[in-house]
C-alpha cells in the first residue's frame, strides 16, 4: 500500500528513542521530512546524525515540551525550516506513575499540556496543508485500571478525549485527529526494560497478562501511528487505535 507520505512534512515530539524514534524512522522511510525534539541535547544530536546518515530530511532540536513558550517557538521554527507542517505527532510522556502532587503536576504539564500546546501551535500551519493530520500517543492505561492508574493513566485518558474532540471540531476544516494507545512496549533502555531488572516480579506479572506471550515493539506502534498520519487513512478521524496484542479486555464501542 502506498501511504502517500512522500513529500509531506512532520513534527514529532520525543523522537530520539522508543516509539517516537520508530515513528521518525518510519516517516523518513516513507519519504516524509521530519523535525523531532527531545529534552536531552546529546541524544538529539546523536539521533540526528544517525538519521541523516540514512538519507532524507531529519531536523532535531532539544526541547522540553513542558515549557510552553519553548515548544511553541520550536513549532514555528520547524514550520519555516520544513516549509510547512502536514503531520503532528504528540508522543512525549513524563511517565508519571507516582501518586503524589509532583507527579500530577508533571504529568499535566508534559503529557496533557505538552500535547495541547503542540497542536495549538501547529494548527495555523496545518490549516494550509492538503493532508493535515494529528496523531497523539496515549496508552492502554487510559482504558483500564492497572498499576499506572494515577497521573499517567488519567492524563492518557484525557488525551484520548481531547483528540476525539479535536477530530469533531476540525473535521469541517479537513484536519484529522486520531490516537494510538500502545500496550506494553519493550525496548532496551525503555521503562519495561528498567522494570525487568529493577522489579522482576512486576515484569513477570505484566508479561503474563499478554495473551501473545510477549510485549510489543516500538516499530509495531509506529506502524499504526504512521498509517493514521498518512493520506491513506483519509476517512479515519476521531478514533483511538489500540495496539496491544489483546492485552486489554474491555470492549471499545
- Catalytic residues, by residue number, are 152
Of 192, 247, 229, residue with least CA distance to 31: 229
d(CA 6, CA 230) in angstroms, rounded, equals: 10
* N residues, the chain: 253
128, burial (CB in 10 Å: exposed 0-12, middle 13-18, buried 19+): exposed
Kindly calculate the radius of gyration of the chain based on its CA atoms and give it in whole angstroms: 17
- Per DSSP, 34 falls in state E
d(CA 253, CA 250) in angstroms, rounded, equals: 9
Biggest distance spanned by C-alpha atoms of the chain = 51
Contacting residues for 178 by C-beta, under 8 A, at least 6 apart: 133, 134, 135, 136, 163, 167, 228, 233, 236, 237, 238, 239, 240, 241
15, burial (CB in 10 Å: exposed 0-12, middle 13-18, buried 19+): buried
d(CA 173, CA 132) in angstroms, rounded, equals: 9
End-to-end CA gap in the chain: 28
d(CA 87, CA 8) in angstroms, rounded, equals: 8
Amino acid at each position: 500500500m502506498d501511504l502517500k507520505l512522500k513529500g509531506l512534512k512532520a513534527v514529532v515530539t520525543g523522537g530520539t528513542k522508543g516509539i517516537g524514534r520508530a515513528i521518525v524512522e518510519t516517516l523518513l522511510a516513507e519519504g516524509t521530512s521530519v523535525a523531532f525534539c527531545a529534552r536531552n541535547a546529546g541524544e538529539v544530536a546523536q539521533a540526528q546524525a544517525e538519521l541523516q546518515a540514512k538519507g532524507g530530511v531529519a531536523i532535531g532540536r532539544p526541547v522540553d515540551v513542558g515549557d510552553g513558550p519553548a515548544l511553541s517557538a520550536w513549532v514555528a521554527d520547524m514550520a519555516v525550516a520544513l516549509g510547512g507542517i502536514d503531520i503532528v505527532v504528540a508522543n512525549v510522556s513524563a511517565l508519571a506513575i507516582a501518586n503524589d502532587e509532583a507527579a500530577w503536576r508533571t504529568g499535566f504539564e508534559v503529557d496533557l499540556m505538552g500535547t495541547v500546546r503542540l497542536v495549538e501551535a501547529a494548527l495555523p500551519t496545518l490549516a494550509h496543508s492538503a493532508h493535515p493530520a494529528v496523531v497523539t500517543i496515549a496508552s492502554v492505561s487510559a482504558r483500564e485500571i492497572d498499576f499506572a492508574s494515577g497521573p499517567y493513566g488519567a492524563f492518557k485518558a484525557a488525551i484520548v478525549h481531547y483528540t476525539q474532540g479535536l477530530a469533531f471540531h476540525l473535521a469541517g476544516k479537513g484536519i484529522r485527529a486520531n490516537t494510538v494507545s500502545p500496550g506494553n512496549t519493550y525496548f532496551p533502555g525503555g521503562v519495561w526494560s528498567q522494570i525487568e531488572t529493577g522489579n522482576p516480579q512486576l515484569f513477570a506479572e505484566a508479561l503474563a497478562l499478554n495473551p501473545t506471550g510477549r510485549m510489543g515493539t516500538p516499530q509495531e506502534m509506529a506502524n499504526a501511528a504512521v498509517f493514521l498520519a498518512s493520506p491513506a487513512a483519509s476517512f479515519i478521524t476521531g478514533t483511538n487505535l489500540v495496539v496491544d496484542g489483546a492485552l486489554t479486555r474491555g470492549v471499545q464501542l
